[in-house]
Chain A
Amino acid sequence: MNLTLKIWRQKNASDKGKMVEYKVTDISEHMSFLEMMDVLNEQLVNSGEEPVAFDHDCREGICGMCSMYINGEAHGPDRGVTTCQLHMRMFNDGDTITIEPFRAAAFPVIKDLVVDRSSFERIQQAGGYISVNTSGNTTDANAILVPKENADKAMDAATCIGCGACVATCKNSSAMLFVGAKVSQYALLPQGQVEATERVKNMVAQMDLEGFGNCTNTGACEIECPKGISLENIARMNSEFLKASFKG
């Protein structure tokens, strides 16, 4: 199929940037979206132009590196997939596809479609851990019993890949699904209880500091999340946070 691509080009963080139109031809429907981008880039390199910079790595939907806003949706029109798992059969011959970077004040553009998601790192550093040293003398793994239901829910929350689609898709650029998932994982496990109060307060404080917007519960994040992280995790974070705040 032949396609018209409208792609955001921005040389660096301080450049203003603009949408630029490209044509690609003979795209197979079996290609992944990023393979289509590879074709475009090969074309650009061969004609002496600078290829479009975009983040990608594992290309199997788990590393969370890829991050495009395709035709008005984070990771494009398919559900439960990242951009690297999106296939061209979702599009039709002759389509015009708009490709933009994830946009949020807390995700500044580095170049073209590459954004800086280090705000997520700082939120995790604020409390996304359990304080246990490596020793080889920790209690036996089976000494900590975890009800299967809680273990499964913690696992569901922990499958977040930190791609930032929730922020990109949220009309408020809120990071609450991301933070809620991490808070929930630990809140559901006995190991996480000791530091629960400080953890949720610190992570939320850091999230606010980074300039993410506030959740208005539209639910868009849950729909666009490639891993299907549930809104339930935001509710759990809210109640954990309120509990922690009233404790003082």
Chain B
Amino acid sequence: MSGLLKSSIGRKFAMALSAFFLMLFLLQHFAINITSIFPDNGATFNKMSHFMGTNPLIQYVMQPVLIFGVVFHFVMGFILEMKNNSARKVSYAKNNGAANSTWMSRNMIYSGGFILVFIIIHFIDFWFPEINTKFIQGDWSGLHDGEFRYFHELQHKFLAPWRVGLYVLGFVFLALHLLHGFSSAFQSVGANNKYTRGLKGFGKVYAIGIPVGFIIIALFHHFNH
């Protein structure tokens, strides 16, 4: 076990584990967000948001784990990219990468980088205000003017077209990242059996389905307010 993270395959494994965690998180995030377009004027969404926002297990255990996972995935991704670049000191005068691999697989660092930018904006939009309200101002009620504030905040954020555009773009990059990342993570942990093919197909559905779902939610709120 010792030194696992120092080995190339160990690092791949760590990248894949953090990826699995993030993909699970993404699924959960999506499951809650989709409730915001239910025709109950945000009631379910508010209920779930309040639970997630105030449950001690989520807030004190899962939230730090998530932050660690995100930071780890990014930092490790950048470290690996740098190491990989240094494995070829002189680059080719002519390289036809498109002949043998997908654009997505060759540009994970760029799709990932854009997702990082997106996450920062997303944090500024939602997460920082939330931390501010709860941990600095100490307001754990989740109420604003006597009502749950979550649904209104959500609707409010998707008013500005530039932000919606940015979110859509963010999700497009997420889709590109996942289109390679999903099956790549399984390959990295050594998945190789009769289910591998099916898993690849499911990966495509996931990689496109989830981001498209998020895009629909964003557009829904933009046009239905």
Contacts and interface: CB of A to CB of B under 8 A. Distances in A.
Interface in B82-117: 83-97, 99-102, 105-106, 108
A8 B91 CA distance: 12
A220 B89 contact: no
A224 B184 contact: no
A171 B86 contact: no
Interface in B146-204: 180, 183-184, 187-192, 196
- Dominant secondary structure at the A interface: mixed
B188 A238 contact: yes
Interface string A222-248: 011000000110111111111001101
Nearest to B2: A248
A28 interface: no
B50 interface: no
Contacts of B13: 238, 242
A73 B100 contact: yes
Nearest to A8: B93
Contact of A105 (B6, B9, B12, B86): B86
Interface stretch (A87-95, A135-143, A191-199, A211-219): A211-219
A214 B83 contact: yes
B42 interface: no
A208 B87 contact: no
B190 A242 contact: yes
Contact of A214 (B1, B80, B189, B196): B80
B101 A223 contact: yes
A184 to B, nearest CB: 10
Interface string B44-80: 0000000000000000000000000000000000001
B8 A208 contact: yes
A72 interface: yes
Nearest to A239: B190
B10 interface: yes
Contacts of A52: none
Given A73-B100, A217-B188, A235-B190, A171 B94 contact: no
Interface string A173-186: 11010000000000
A13 to B, nearest CB: 12
B120 interface: no
Interface in A155-195: 169, 171-174, 176
A217 B190 contact: no
B27 interface: no
Contacts of B80: 214, 216
A15 B189 CA distance: 42
A215 B11 CA distance: 10
A220 B101 contact: yes
A224 B96 CA distance: 11
B84 A213 contact: yes
Contact of B100 (A71, A169, A246): A169
B105 A238 contact: no
Given A100-B93, A238-B13, A213 B83 contact: yes
A219 B105 contact: yes
Contacts of A238: 9, 12-13, 187-190
A216 B79 CA distance: 13
B143 interface: no
Given A232-B192, A235-B190, A245-B4, A219 B100 contact: yes
B93 A216 contact: no
Interface in B1-46: 1, 4, 6-13
A171 B97 contact: yes
B94 A173 contact: no
B94 A234 contact: no
A62 interface: no
B84 A214 contact: yes
Given A171-B106, A219-B105, A239 B189 contact: yes
B87 A174 contact: yes
A45 interface: no
Given A208-B6, A216-B80, A220-B100, 6 more contacts: A19-B93, A204-B7, A213-B83, A224-B100, A238-B12, A241-B7
